[in-house]
Amino acid sequence: MFTGIVTDIGTVLAVEGQGGLHARIGTLYGAANIDIGASIACDGVCLTVVARGDSAEQTWFEVDVSAETLSKTNLGLWAPGRRVNLERALKVGDELGGHIVSGHVDGLAEIIAMHDDGASTRFSFRAPAALAGYIASKGSVALNGTSLTVNEVNGTDFGVNIIPHTKSATTWGAATVGDRVNLEIDTLARYVARLAEWNT
């Protein structure tokens, strides 16, 4: 379980594999504090740590990514040098600063427009039609692992506002139109929709 509050920007150091993927990610998290088997959200995808250590340059951890995960996310674009949003799993007693995020990505949203709004940037996204009904104005979404508030919804399109702090503390400062980002719909919206479906 996560909150969508990014705590480090990691760097993909190496990737290998066919079908699935094995990746090494550099991080500022201390290796001694990363347990084998721990969950770390990488661009919003909950992945299991299978190895970790320290090189001369930095701390790193390794993860395996299944073919199923690659089919639902943008992790297939990972290459050495790519920067990724990281979040450690939520612990009992931690502050819930964002919203409840599972790390189970539902699909990909595309950035279709960006424009400055004062010091912030307003982003417009296009969601897959099957997921658009779960996105509500003033509700929450997780995009590349970042908890964000939806400003408005128009069919399959929706907008969010990203403040300067979020741009500097995450990879959003380097986003461009056309990027496809990992989208996780709000867990509460998912269950409300399921209950409505069950009761009809």
- What tens-digit pLDDT sequence spans the chain (200 residues)? 899 999 999 999 999 987 889 999 999 998 888 999 999 999 999 999 999 998 777 899 999 999 999 999 999 999 999 999 999 998 776 777 778 899 999 999 999 999 999 999 999 999 999 999 999 999 999 999 999 999 999 999 999 999 999 999 999 999 999 999 999 998 776 667 666 767 76
- Check: CB of residue 152 under 8 Å from CB of residue 137: yes
- Residue 166 φ/ψ, nearest 5 degrees: -65, -40
And the tokens for 195? 């209950």
Termini Cα distance of the chain: 31
41 backbone φψ class: left, alpha, beta (φ>0; ψ -120 to 50): beta
Q: What is the pLDDT of residues 122-144, one digit of tens each?
A: 999 999 999 999 999 999 999 99
Q: What is the pLDDT of residue 198?
A: 75
- At the second CATH level, the architecture of 107-198 is Beta Barrel (2.40)
Q: What is the pLDDT of residue 30?
A: 86
- At the second CATH level, the architecture of 8-88 is Beta Barrel (2.40)
Question: Hunting for tokens 């990724």 — which residue is that?
Answer: 84
Q: Where in the chain is the domain with CATH 2.40.30.20?
A: 8-88, 107-198
| Cα gap 73→128, rounded to integer Å | 13
Give the three-state DSSP class for 78: coil
Q: What is the pLDDT of residues 159-191, one digit of tens each?
A: 999 999 999 999 999 999 999 999 999 877 666
Q: What is the pLDDT of residue 167?
A: 96
Q: What is the pLDDT of residue 193?
A: 66
Q: What is the pLDDT of residue 57?
A: 75
Neighbours of 98 (CB within 10 A): 20
Q: What is the pLDDT of residue 63?
A: 97
